[in-house]
Amino acid sequence: MSYALNRVTVPVTVDAEKCIADKGCTVCVDVCPLDVLAIDLSKGTAYMKYDECWYCMPCEKDCPTGAVNVDIPYLLR
């Protein structure tokens, strides 16, 4: 079987300037009920790894630096 790579826009975005994942912060990754966020170790920032969002907002509310933004997924907007 072979697989395709479909591009999708993701609802959760992270401001790299504000994100302090490089200092060891993992708050947004920890609180996500769907476990869809991860830390990009090469860039030292959090990002949305899986497009499985409930647009519930703990990641945005609990981020200590206001780096995370939750938008409504495009299909619902």
From the list 13-21, 40-48, 49-57, the region that binds another protein by CB under 8 A is 49-57
Selected binder of another protein within 22, 43, 61, 66 (CB under 8 A) = 61
Cα 42 to chain centroid, rounded: 16
Q: What is the secondary structure of 12-36 as a DSSP string? A: EEE-TTT--GGGT--HHHHH-TT--
Burial 65-77 (b: 16+ CB within 10 A, else e): eebbebeebeeee
Is residue 35 a contact point for another protein (CB under 8 A)?
A: yes
Selected binder of another protein within 22, 43, 52, 65 (CB under 8 A) = 52
Is residue 40 a contact point for another protein (CB under 8 A)?
A: no
Here's the x/- map for another protein, 6-25, by CB under 8 A: it reads as --------------------
